[in-house]
A = this chain, B = another copy of it.
Amino acid sequence: MLRAIQYSSANKLLQLATTSCARNASSSPQCEPSKPNIRTAVPGPKTLQLSAELNQLQQAGSVQLIGDYERCVGNYFVDVDGNEFLDAFTQISSIPVGYNHPHLLTAFEDQKNIKALVNRPALGVFPDKEWPQKLRDILLPVAPSGLTNISTMMCGSCSNENAYKAVFIWYRNKERGTVEFSEEEMQSCMKNAAPGSPNLSILSFVDAFHGRTFGSLSTTRSKAIHKIDVPAFDWPVAPFPKYRYPLDQFERENQEEDARCLEQVQARINEYKSRCPVAGVVVEPIQSEGGDNEASPQFFRNLQKLCKENGIALIIDEVQTGCGPTGKMWAYEHFELPSPPDLLTFSKKMLTGGFYFKPEFKPPQAYRVFNTWMGDPSKLILLERVLQVIKRENLLDRVQKTGAVLKGGLHELEKEFPQLIHSVRGRGTFLSFTAKDSAVRDQINNGLKKNGVLGGGCGEASIRLRPSLVFEPKHAHIYLDVLRKTLKEL
């Protein structure tokens, strides 16, 4: 009888929790499962069925799981087979504050916001009366210090492409010393020929990932499958530092590696000067898709110095690192650059694409960095809520705290399983480690999934952690426990 009463009370509490859950302002929903819960084989029968259906319509070989987004909550991804996964991948790092966050779910209760969603304007021609204010109130307060201009875009690729365009326009304006075009430029560009379509390049790094459209793909150097069969510009590529770990044991070697890479950057700039001069350098603060390769603050400071000396723009690509996962709003803030980068691009967790830039990168004429939509106001409505949650709940602090737990645990595991994993690295919860080889990496990733944790691969043999910003130390412990179990099972 007592048990029955206790059970009934617990049930009522659960109901209360579930009811309050939908409206609860906390980022750590009380209705999250307490741990992963795997009910079927992974992938389950319904995922397999629906993936096959999707594959009738398009190439669906990349599908891992079919989601049930109505049931996802906080840090837990629920698939169509009812399996509940702790999500340390979060839609390729693009869910900022967890699934179905209550503060986001209520964003469209205001009819004004529904109207913004339904009447999508051509922002470059007929923006809404609140648009300048929204850019000032939502995007400028989190702008990289010194970057006072902003263009919104649709995704990471087009953010980079348009940043490159802004760089080429700036570079040619410097070269011609006037904002007037010559007749020869105007006519030759219509034939895709110089001088109107100039032989200019963007330098990128080995293992970089900057997107998949033709311009951004010409700077992507991650994997052959991303690039093969697609025409690309003859643009230069320089090595990105490959460090030896643990960092404190290989300081000298890693400094030499920095110097070697920077020398190669200068060599490429010199080499391309007569062929296809470098107008800009694009770099990720931590190379993500290409293997979670980090470089030292000193490397970035020297890279910036080198760009300035050569009259070249520095573009920081924060599509994956931006919006908090390293414990700062922008990862490049860790580098303490003496002056801001020239342009900084974003997307993913920011929900809208776009880029910040110095005023000198504003094209002198209209219709040059332009397209029909120029972004999407409905994404800013959500981003505003995301930034409120980040601030209100001190999520950057939480990322640092959770990251410390996670990284500490990963260091223990690399000691416990030295034959399987090594090179634990990263900042905040933007962490990764490398497996013995790519086969072991795939085994670990599949094992994690079968044990209820989602993670992503990157590079040759690495696993990246990309939880959302509401990942707490308790989630870190679950992740670590599941990883230990998985490594033991290998």
Q: Is A212 an interface residue (CB 8 A)?
A: yes
Known A168-B230, A200-B231; 11 more pairs at CB < 8 Å? A57-B148, A59-B362, A59-B365, A59-B366, A92-B122, A157-B371, A161-B213, A172-B229, A181-B224, A189-B224, A197-B230
A155 contact set on B, CB distance < 8 A:
154, 158, 371-373
At the interface with chain B, which of A125-133, A300-308, A395-403, A482-490?
Answer: A125-133
List 10 A–B pairs whose Cβ atoms lie within 8 Å, in order of A's numbering: A53-B133, A57-B136, A62-B124, A69-B115, A69-B121, A91-B120, A94-B120, A108-B117, A156-B371, A158-B213
Complex copy number for this chain: 2
Q: What is the size category of the interface that chain A forms with chain B?
A: 35 or more
Q: Interface with B: A26-34, A98-106, A421-429, A440-448, which one?
A: A98-106
Indicate whether A181 sits within 8 Å of B136 (C-beta atoms), given known contacts A121-B91, A351-B120.
Answer: no
A478 beta carbon closer than 8 Å to chain B: no
Is A368 a contact partner of B225 (Cβ separation < 8 A)? yes
Digit string of A133-160 for contact with B (CB within 8 Å is 1, else 0)?
1011000100000001111001111100
A residues in contact (CB < 8 Å) with B: 46, 50, 53-54, 57-70, 72, 77, 80, 91-92, 94-95, 99-101, 104-105, 107-108, 111-112, 114-122, 124-129, 131-133, 135-136, 140, 148-151, 154-158, 161-162, 164-165, 168-169, 171-173, 181, 185-187, 189-193, 196-201, 211-216, 218, 221, 224-235, 237, 347-348, 351, 362-373, 378, 382
Do residues B154 and A58 form an inter-chain contact, with CB atoms below 8 A?
no
Q: A158-B155, A214-B215 are in contact. Are A228 and B125 (CB under 8 A)?
A: no
